[in-house]
Chains A and B, each alone.
Chain A
Amino acid sequence: MFRFSPIKGGIHPDSHKDHTANRDILTSMPIPERLYLPLFQQAGASALPVVGIGDPVLKGQQIAVTGGGLSAHIHAPTSGKLIAIEDIVAPHPSGLPAPAMVLESDGDDLPLEQPSICNPFTRDPEELATEVEQAGIVGLGGAIFPSAVKLRQGRRFEIKTLIINGGECEPYLTTDDRLMQERAEQIVEGARLIQHIIEAYAVIIAVEDNKPNAIAALKKAAAPHGKLRVAVVPSMYPMGSAKQLIQAVTGEEVPAGMRSNDVGILVHNVATAYAIQQALCFKRPLTSRVVTVGGSCIASPHNVEALFGTPISHLIEYCGGLKREPARLIMGGPMMGQTLPSINTPVMKGTSAILALSPEEVNEKSPDPCIRCSRCVSACPMGLVPLEMAKHVKADSFDGAQTYGLRDCILCGSCSYVCPSHIPLVNYFEYAKGELKNQRTAAQKLAYTQQLTKAREERIEKEAAAKKAAKSKKRRSRDRSASKSTPSSTPSETSSSEPTAENDS
């Protein structure tokens, strides 16, 4: 009851990890006939296609480029032909259509010729950051934030500690766990490469204490490298959230509204470290990832290394299919994952898991009124008051919700998980956050259009003034010439010159 905890709040959900944690990652899944690559699979802007329909592509070839700012390149996961760019059902709970590139595999899996590369540790960090961008790497822990952007931000600050996040706290998920067990050396090398790029002083790989095999593997791999330390953190949810992990490892809090850079810390996921290592040492762009296929409705739960664009139905079939009809199909973990509208949606860069959950696992009930038990308050890792926030959102008082911390909410779901009344607290907060975001967008548009209107009015005034000035000048000169020669000037002549002036505008 009074157990010491390095973070505020938090919960201890059933881990459900034992099904997959001790099984090897399946790496030889057959390549599906068609791959569907949504253009919108990273935080920020959609990517822009750079190959035409009907063009042949090779594995690892860039097929869409960053949409500018926050975005990432997309590469062909296998060789074949681009057959269409069309709307598919987005792997998103809205079920809205989203444009995707459809790649038909030729079955040969021919890679793009890559130039041989030298030891990345001897190269310029800025160059390496560019290479990470070229490889289309995004944060694989769930935030899908473009890694190169994060690395460049890190370069602009003095980073004391680089934390490699192995605190995979979502129930069911074992992708990072397996990756750490099987590919510890690559992860350590990736961590050292990130350290090299951002010139961090120290590297800490933080792993939850429920992954003893991963800790052992990492410690062994890290032994030759002095500055690299493996830290064991208590396993609880949401330990894998960057802010909470920073608190657990360093004891520091990232001040509200700031990034971890500001306190001299940068957090990267272990899977991202692995992807960066692959990109910098072998020039392999990000075209696949490890996905946990789990939940009690899956016949044979496993971790599968899946190509991006693989339809989820293929993945489930590869894992023995469905034992029973699931209540919910989820992309990501059960705490923060999103329901999928269809089984035909593809795997994306941010797909850490596909879970087919039974009604018992979801344990959904219709909500009762709030009894103010304040379990949500003690569960909240951010120290907020979810019950008051929900009360305000229910009355559409977003300002009120913000005074109780809506802005700081990380949507981790701890409050909803413990609520005895089964109130969909996170649903309220997602609604409020979405509504506030749309309001902000609308206000920005309003300001923009106001500015445009004003600019136009000014321009019209200026034009009118210029026209008037030109007219009076002409009249004056004509008057002058008329007074010199013939006094017969017709108004039709003046009007004939007007259309040209108008066309110029």
Chain B
Amino acid sequence: MFTSTIVLSLLGVGLGGLLGLAAKVFSVGEENPLVEDIEGMLPGSNCGQCGFPGCKPAAEAIVDGSADLTCCPPGGKALVSSLAEHLGMDPSTIGEPAAPSLAYIKESLCTGCTRCFKVCPTDAIVGANKQIHSVIGSACTGCGKCKDACPEDCISLEPETVDLDSWHWPKPQWA
């Protein structure tokens, strides 16, 4: 009776101490490290297509569950699957992100005001003062910041089109 009481109390104190120690040593700081990881995976262009003011708030929203993994159109399917892997979710249960789009400049309306390329987060617009600007497709994330900045309203966002290189056979459909 006496021995068992002693043993159990010692055990309790010992384990409690270990737990306390573990809480100190392995403590997670104010910021969830997951947020940082996810922010690193996002495009980082703070384009706002997800509905959040930037990539960091989006990462926070993804971590606390208020945003879907599919919220980032520029990241596309690849981002969805890598996010799912990182968060331990089954990628097949997650839907598809919106098709990424690209910015197009209507050359007939462009006055060469340079405002769009100043706001472009990826420097995807080339041009100079009083010269027609043009979008480099391979660098454009379709964030739409240029569209908002354009005083002539000559920039439009068009969904990326399928070409011979990106076309592939669709999945066969049958029961």
Which of B74, B75, B138, B162 makes the CB contact (< 8 A) with A96? B162
Complexed CA–CA distance, A20 and B27 (Å): 78
- A397 proximity list for chain B (CB < 8 A): 92
Among A393, A435, A452, chain B packs the most CB atoms within 10 A around the CB of: A452
B124 contacts A431, C-beta separation under 8 Å: no
Contact yes or no, A439 B164, CB < 8 A: no
Candidate in B78, B82, B139, B141 with the most chain A CB atoms within 10 angstroms: B78
What's the dominant secondary structure at chain A's contact region?
A: helix
10 contacts between A and B (CB under 8 A): A393-B171, A395-B92, A427-B172, A435-B77, A437-B168, A443-B82, A446-B78, A449-B74, A452-B123, A452-B139
Report the interface size for chain B: residues with CB under 8 A from the other chain.
34
With A40-B164, A94-B162, A442-B76 known to touch, is A428 a contact of B174 (CB < 8 Å)? no
Which residues of the partner chain A approach B169 to less than 8 Å between Cβ atoms?
93, 427, 430-431, 434
In B76-115, the 8 Å CB interface with A consists of 76-79, 81-82, 91-92, 100
Q: Are B164 and A96 in contact (CB-based, < 8 A)? A: yes
Residues A446 and B172 in contact, CB atoms below 8 Å apart: no
CB within 8 Å of B: which of A31-63?
40
- Contact across chains for B168 and A439 when beta carbons are under 8 A apart: no
Bound-state CA distance A449–B74 (Å) is: 9
Chain A residues with CB under 8 Å of B121's CB are 452-453, 456
Q: Say yes or no: is A206 at the interface (Cβ < 8 Å to chain B).
A: no
Give the chain A neighbours of B167 by CB distance below 8 A. 92, 94, 96, 434
Identify the closest chain B residue to A400 (Cβ).
B92
- Complex interface: chain A residues within 8 A of B82 (CB): 443
Residues of B within 8 A of A (CB): 43-46, 74-79, 81-82, 91-92, 100, 121-124, 129, 138-139, 141, 162-164, 166-172, 174
B168 touches A435 (CB 8 A): yes
The docked-state distance in angstroms from the alpha carbon of A418 to that of B122 is: 51
- Please classify the interface of chain B as helix (H, G, I), strand (E, B), loop, or mixed, using the class held by over half of its residues: loop
Question: What is the 8 Å Cβ interface bit string for chain A, positions 429-451, against chain B (1 contact, 0 not)?
Answer: 01101110111111101101110
Pairwise interchain contact A438-B172, C-beta atoms closer than 8 A: no
In contact, A446 and B79 (Cβ under 8 angstroms): yes
The answer to whether residues A450 and B168 also contact, given A94-B162, A96-B162, A445-B138 and a CB cut-off of 8 A, is no
B164 touches A438 (CB 8 A): no
A387 to chain B, nearest CB (A): 14
Which residue from B43, B122, B168 sits with its C-beta under 8 Å from A456? Answer: B122
CA of A431 to CA of B100, assembled, Å: 20
Bound Cα distance A367, B43 (Å): 42
- Taking the closest CB of chain B, its distance from the CB of A89, in whole angstroms, is 11
A428 touches B172 (CB 8 A): yes
Are the C-beta atoms of A450 and B44 separated by less than 8 Å?
yes
Given the contacts A427-B172, A449-B122, A453-B45, A439 and B78 also touching, CB distance less than 8 Å = yes
